[in-house]
């Protein structure tokens, strides 16, 4: 451990910062800041974070966690390689392939794709939006806001027109058309 010649409060600040990840909280824990304004706490915490001795001590405190994380990842890959090699020696190629695939996944070489198939048509979407607006219609009509009531009236008129168009389209589709013989006579 390098010697940084920190005060007890500075050392406590560093430890609290590593624990919380928040400089202002670390300052409150380490210094008598119960009467200090939040802006003062924030400013003083920032000053401590900018101090080169504090920054060096924080790096030193973080290093074991960084080393452990790297060691864990590297040892994980090494263990999978060991299992792969053992499986190959025994002729168990499916296990060897599986171990190698897991090494690749752990290293981020494989990305799983998920395909989402959406069978919602534009007409379905319009119908859902329209229905949701119609569900709000009673509330809009009873509103004290004149703009809200006006929007409700416009919505009612749009719905009335949509229903008319729908009915006339349905009528045209169900109406008997000319017979094949009469069409042939026309040409």
* Predicted confidence (pLDDT) per residue in 121-153, tens digit: 877 777 787 787 778 778 777 878 888 888 888
Residue 187 is predicted with a pLDDT of 55
From CA 87, how far away is CA 99, in angstroms rounded? 9
pLDDT at 173 over 90: no
Q: How many CB atoms lie within 10 A of CB 113?
A: 4
Return d(Cα 147, Cα 151) in angstroms, integer: 6
Phi-psi region of 122 (alpha: psi -120 to 50; beta: other; left: phi over 0): alpha
CA atoms of 92 and 97, how far apart (whole Å): 9
Whether pTM > 0.75 for this model: the answer is no
Q: Which of 55, 46, 52, 51 is nearest to 22 (CA)?
A: 46
pLDDT 10s digits, 87-126: 889 998 888 888 888 888 877 777 777 777 777 787 777 7
pLDDT higher than 60, residue 161: yes
How many angstroms separate the Cα of 182 from the Cα of each of 144, 175, 186? 60, 16, 6
Q: Can you give the pLDDT at residue 3?
A: 65
């Amino acid at each position: 451990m390098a010697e940084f010649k920190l005060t007890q409060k500075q050392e406590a600040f560093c430890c609290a910062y590593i624990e919380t990840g928040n400089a202002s909280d670390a300052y409150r824990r380490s210094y008598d800041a119960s009467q200090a304004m939040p802006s003062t706490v924030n400013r003083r915490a920032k000053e401590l974070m900018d101090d080169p001795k504090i920054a060096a001590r924080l790096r030193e405190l973080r290093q074991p966690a960084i080393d452990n994380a790297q060691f864990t990842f590297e040892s994980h890959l090494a263990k999978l390689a060991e299992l792969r090699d053992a499986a190959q020696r025994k002729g168990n190629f499916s296990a060897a392939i599986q171990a190698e695939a897991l090494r690749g996944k752990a290293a981020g070489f494989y990305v799983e794709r998920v395909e989402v198939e959406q069978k919602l048509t534009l007409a379905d979407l319009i119908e859902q939006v329209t229905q949701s607006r119609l569900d709000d219609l009673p509330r809009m009509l009873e509103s004290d806001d004149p703009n809200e009531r006006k929007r409700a009236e416009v919505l009612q008129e749009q719905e009335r027109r949509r229903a008319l168009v729908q009915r006339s389209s349905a009528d045209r589709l169900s109406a008997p058309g000319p017979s094949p013989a009469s069409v042939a006579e026309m040409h």
